[in-house]
Structure 1
Amino acid sequence: IKDQALVAADIRYAAAQFPFLKRVFLADGDALILPQPRLMEILGMIREHLPWVQRVGLYGNAKSILRKSPEQLEELRRTGLGIVYLGLESGDPEVLRRIAKGVSAERMIAAGRRVREAGIKLSVTVLLGIAGRADGPRHARATGEVLSAMDPNYVGALTLMLLPNTPLAEDYQAGRFELPDQAELLGELREMLQHTQLSQGLFLANHASNYLPLKVRMPTGKDQALALIDQALGGRVALKPEWLRAL
């Protein structure tokens, strides 16, 4: 963890160099794991030196979120924390076990709800293709159900891209893991969206890794988005070429 003096210097530098900055992100790992007094001090420095900033965001996993009491999260919100980014990846228990997520779907739901109940915006990331070919539909349904229970402000769907020298890439090379093809990934996206019920917010699949960019205003735009996926599955909508995809 970076020394607090360096954080303070970064904030003062930002104040001098970026006077029109509207958003700040506390990088690069799980900043919510910081002790409450230290995190409050950082937010206080941002408020003092960058008074024009409208929103502060950070990553938070289920463990770090649930270590904060509801009162502590509300205190962070009052001091400027506006959004927490939570990586769900999958709502399927078996997939979570295989990827060594280290937390259950139920704990993920509890963490997401705690953020929302504190009045902080919640953005949840999910991963198409992470279950492999055989379990993709089950993963998609379970993930949609967990998202519905969380009811986040934003959902970001990314598509799995294998990196060399990682355990999953080695499993793929050895034939132990099968990557879904384009049609199967679109089917996952459709199944996940179909099973996601949000009171409001955005379901986004516009990351560079995705074959079909989507920006769905929930719940009103859901049917139109499902129809677009069906058109893509039928070959009537062009998909992003492989060379344009990226992490």
Structure 2
Amino acid sequence: MDYQGDIIRPPSEAFSIILQVTVGCSHNHCTFCGAYRDPEKRFQVKPWDRIEADLDFAARFCRRQTTLFLADGDALAMDDDRLIHLLRTIRHKLPWVRRVGSYATCQNIRTKSDEQLRNYQTLGLRRLYMGLETGHDPTLKAIAKGVDSQAMIEAGQRIRAAGIFLSVTCLLGIAGTEFSLDHARATADTLNRMQPHQIAVLTLMLLPNTPLHRLASMGRFIMPDQEGLFQELRALLAGLGTSRTQFHANHASNYFSLSGRLPKDREQMLAIIDQALAGTMALKPEGVRGL
């Protein structure tokens, strides 16, 4: 398989065929993200001959894997004709693959019509991972996401309406200490309106190659401490409504694992957070945390 640079994929795609169809991220301005800041990894759609060669490789050697993930940052940046051709080719060459997934920026979702999104779903694109990070508009602006919470809500609702499974990620700590609880409450409100099938909560880790790390080193951004992060997580979880969704805060960046289904497991998960706040449970050592 032809992989250029470090390949990023969601934890739930660990056993998927990873097909790199784009290099880098089409937005690549988020101040906290260091994944695609290598100057040699500028965004591009890979040549079709390389993609097809990888599909031929997968057809020979990946017959036990029934899911496929389109890397890198956002396959929806591909134009409609090329994406449809890609999905049809996957279906033809890998007929045993039951689900194709991809990251999706709000900006690129907005470039697709409702009919196009439904077509992708029909052709096998069944899961999209959308980085909300926060529903707090001042923080969205500060981290250069390029859109506001209303745009995020509309994009998420359109993904759901197309019949595509929507997984949304949120970042603890992204608003700093100043707006920590405002961020948690606004994010819960945004998620309530978006109604994703899955919510994945990560904890911000300041990476040296990012603008946010530079702000932190100058004292212009202050991460919440452990207690602040746990209070943030609690406020987020408590603010979520009654829509049925999977809730996961079990990423390697988090200090402890939390996973369940809302609304039925809410109280149990809140009780676990309260144990962390009370200091009565073991936490993940700093050296073990990672992205």
Q: Same fold (TM over 0.5)?
A: yes
Tell me, what secondary structure is at the counterpart of 1:165? coil
Structure-to-structure mapping, 1:60-71, within 5 angstroms:
60-71=104-115
Deviation of the 1:197 alpha carbon: 2.1
In structure 2, the residue matched to 1:92 is 136
Contact 1:15–1:49 (8 Å) recurs in 2: yes
AA aligned opposite 2:183: H
AA aligned opposite 1:201: T
In structure 2, the residue matched to 1:156 is 200
1:205 aligns with 2:249: yes
In structure 1, the residue matched to 2:273 is 229
Of 37, 55, 69, the residue aligned with 2:81 is 37
Which blocks of at least 5 consecutive residues in structure 1 are unaligned? none
In structure 2, the residue matched to 1:103 is 147
In structure 2, the residue matched to 1:120 is 164
The structure with the largest helix share of the pair is 1
1:186 aligns with 2:230: yes
Tell me, what secondary structure is at the counterpart of 1:25? strand
AA aligned opposite 2:181: P
Of 127, 139, 145, the residue aligned with 2:183 is 139
- Once residues 65 and 56 of structure 2 are traced to their aligned partners in structure 1, the CA distance between those partners, rounded to angstroms, is 13
| Percentage of identical aligned residues | 49
In structure 2, the residue matched to 1:18 is 62
In structure 1, the residue matched to 2:49 is 5
In structure 2, the residue matched to 1:54 is 98
Deviation of the 1:198 alpha carbon: 5.1
- Once residues 111 and 44 of structure 1 are traced to their aligned partners in structure 2, the CA distance between those partners, rounded to angstroms, is 24
TM-score by length of 1: 0.98
Tell me, what secondary structure is at the counterpart of 2:264? coil
Deviation of the 1:8 alpha carbon: 1.1
Contact 1:211–1:241 (8 Å) recurs in 2: yes
RMSD: 0.9
Tell me, what secondary structure is at the counterpart of 1:210? coil
Aligned length: 247
- Once residues 74 and 108 of structure 2 are traced to their aligned partners in structure 1, the CA distance between those partners, rounded to angstroms, is 8
- Once residues 226 and 41 of structure 1 are traced to their aligned partners in structure 2, the CA distance between those partners, rounded to angstroms, is 46
Tell me, what secondary structure is at the counterpart of 1:156? strand
AA aligned opposite 1:238: A
Tell me, what secondary structure is at the counterpart of 1:77? helix
1:240 aligns with 2:284: yes
- Once residues 68 and 182 of structure 2 are traced to their aligned partners in structure 1, the CA distance between those partners, rounded to angstroms, is 37
Deviation of the 1:179 alpha carbon: 1.1
Which blocks of at least 5 consecutive residues in structure 2 are unaligned? 1-44
Structure 1, residues 38-68: CA drift from partner, whole Å, max 9, x if none? 1011111111111111110011111111111
Tell me, what secondary structure is at the counterpart of 2:253? coil
1:82 aligns with 2:126: yes
Tell me, what secondary structure is at the counterpart of 1:232? helix
AA aligned opposite 1:114: R
Tell me, what secondary structure is at the counterpart of 1:87? strand
1:220 aligns with 2:264: yes
AA aligned opposite 2:105: N
